[in-house]
Amino acid sequence: MSLGIYLFCLIPADPLPKIAGKGIDGEHPVFVEAIGKVAAVLAEVHLEDFTGPEAQAKMEDLAWVAPRALRHEEVVLSAMEQGPVLPVRFGTVFSSLTAAAEPLRQRQDVLMKFFQETIDKKEWTMKGYVDRPQARARMTAARLAAEKEQLAGLSPGKRYFLEQKIKGAVDKDVAKWLKEMGRDILRVAREASAGFSECRLQSQDVTGRDEEMFFHGALLVPDGSMAALECMTDEWNTRHEAQGLSLELSGPWPPYHFAPVL
């Protein structure tokens, strides 16, 4: 089998970090290679695992991908413990060390700027959830109460149609309300972070929760601001939990959502 070079992440070359262990195949060791002012965390891999029709089948097989993706993340997290890190997407493979080094030599300024901007900062994920049935029921009750006198003066048939019209408008009310809550969360997030990146909302099948996700963002948080962010999140939850809302933080993660495109 032909050997290629797998790239986990990039880090400043000074001081050169020490990262040990096996690569994603559990066979070839991880090593660090200085390329100018930048160091690459690498390991040899079999190219056949990542190129060609057989590789495509493997990348679609969760049983094959999952342990390798986990090992990828473990190596990146190990690098993050030693300083700023630029994580690279899972499955980034080069034909040789020379091929891996060439684009990095051309982007030294971009990479060093990124390391300067992210030193002593971590990525945290913020997710907002809503109990939508509870929200709909609460807003439906409020609308019906507001129209109580008008409803009382109508015939049964007209009252039924007006009630249905009111209930139909509730979905718009809920959507508008959640947008307002999202803006409020964003304000909280930006007060204690150096950067924000909007993320795609995840379905309930993905989250495994009964509540629906209505907010999802990545924050670049200075280490010294983490306590303040946690306090602000707790206060937000206390104010809104009776409305079926909850806000969750998870991390720290490498700054995936803030890395420059290479």
Nearest of 39, 25, 29, 4 to residue 71 by alpha carbon? 25
pLDDT number for residue 127: 97
pLDDT at position 78 is 92
pLDDT at 131: 94
pLDDT confidence tier of residue 164, bands split at 50, 70 and 90: low
CA dihedral sign, ordered 192, 126, 227, 10:
negative
Q: pLDDT tens digits for 89-100?
A: 999 999 999 999
pLDDT of residue 214: 96
What confidence score (pLDDT) does residue 201 get?
A: 95
pLDDT in tens, 94-128: 999 999 999 899 999 999 999 999 999 999 999 99
- Residue 54 pLDDT: 81
Confidence (pLDDT) at 155: 57
Mean pLDDT of the chain: 88
| Mean pLDDT within 211-235 | 94
Q: Is the pLDDT of residue 165 over 80?
A: no
Give the pLDDT of residue 162: 57
pLDDT in tens, 66-93: 999 999 999 999 999 988 999 999 999 9
DSSP states along 182-211 = HHHHHHHHHHT-SEEEE-PPPPHHHH--SS
User: Which tens digit of pLDDT belongs to each residue from 32-65?
Assistant: 999 999 999 999 999 888 887 788 888 888 898 9
| DSSP β-bridge partners for residue 217 | 126, 198
- Place 6 in a pLDDT band, splitting at 50, 70 and 90: very high
Least Cα distance to 143 among 178, 173, 123, 184 occurs for 173
pLDDT surpasses 60 at 153: no
Comparison of pLDDT for 22 and 155, the residue scoring more: 22
The residues pairing with 222 across neighbouring beta strands, listed in sequence order, are 121
C-alpha 106/C-alpha 99 separation (Å) is 12
Please name the residues in contact with 51: beta carbons below 8 A apart, sequence gap of 6 or more. Answer: 93
Predicted confidence at residue 59, as pLDDT, reads 86
- Report, as an integer, the average pLDDT of 189-206: 92
